[in-house]
Amino acid sequence: MTTGFELRETSGKGEGIFATKSFKVGDIVMTGVIEKMLNGNHSHASQVGENEYALHAGLIIKVNHSCGPNCGISINVTGAHDFVAMNDISVNEEITFDYAMRNYKIDYFPVKCMCGSIKCRDKVTGWQGLSSEKKREYEGFVALYLLEIDKAGYSQDIK
């Protein structure tokens, strides 16, 4: 069985992950496996809990951000992030997700977003920086602790 995705060179954004088969809404596009837990946030870290960061194994860490992504996040039984199709994805389409679906704050990316989406927010922001409209649009496709942080209402002082 093929995985359905591969690493390729994008036009202008460095490497990215591209679909080698088509996916339907709700399909798991990439299955997350945690390689190791980390002591803090870094450029390839995934936030997996309020103050927990992990490094995912394999090509998942190469998936580029988009402000108009075709994938969202679902936490699997191992606590890792699966990437689930939010739209139908066709062969050769770049697989993208929104970093804000995973990280409350973004510390390690350039201020200017290069995603090229018509929905581009111009800046790569974390969950903290999303409008409530955008948060609703992503409902069901984000890491759950982000919602818990919101609910707890201490978004102002979390590090």
List residues near Zn ion by CB under 5 A: 67, 113, 115, 120
**Could you write out the DSSP letters of every residue in 19-39?**
ESS-B-TT-EEE---EEEEES
The CB-of-152 to Zn ion minimum distance in angstroms stands at 28
Which SS3 state, helix, strand or coil, does residue 58 take? Answer: helix
The CB-of-142 to Zn ion minimum distance in angstroms stands at 17
**Residue with smaller CB distance to Zn ion, 110 or 153:** 110
**Residue with smaller CB distance to Zn ion, 38 or 120:** 120
**Residue with smaller CB distance to Zn ion, 126 or 145:** 126
- Token digits for 34? 């945690």
- Token digits for 24? 């339907």
The CB-of-14 to Zn ion minimum distance in angstroms stands at 15
Rounded Cα distance between 38 and 85, Å, is 27
**Residue with smaller CB distance to Zn ion, 82 or 98:** 98
Handedness of CA 88, 99, 68, 117 (dihedral sign): negative
Rounded Cα distance between 105 and 82, Å, is 20
**Residue with smaller CB distance to Zn ion, 84 or 115:** 115
The CB-of-19 to Zn ion minimum distance in angstroms stands at 20
Give me the amino acid identity at 23: F
The CB-of-133 to Zn ion minimum distance in angstroms stands at 16
Rounded Cα distance between 39 and 36, Å, is 10
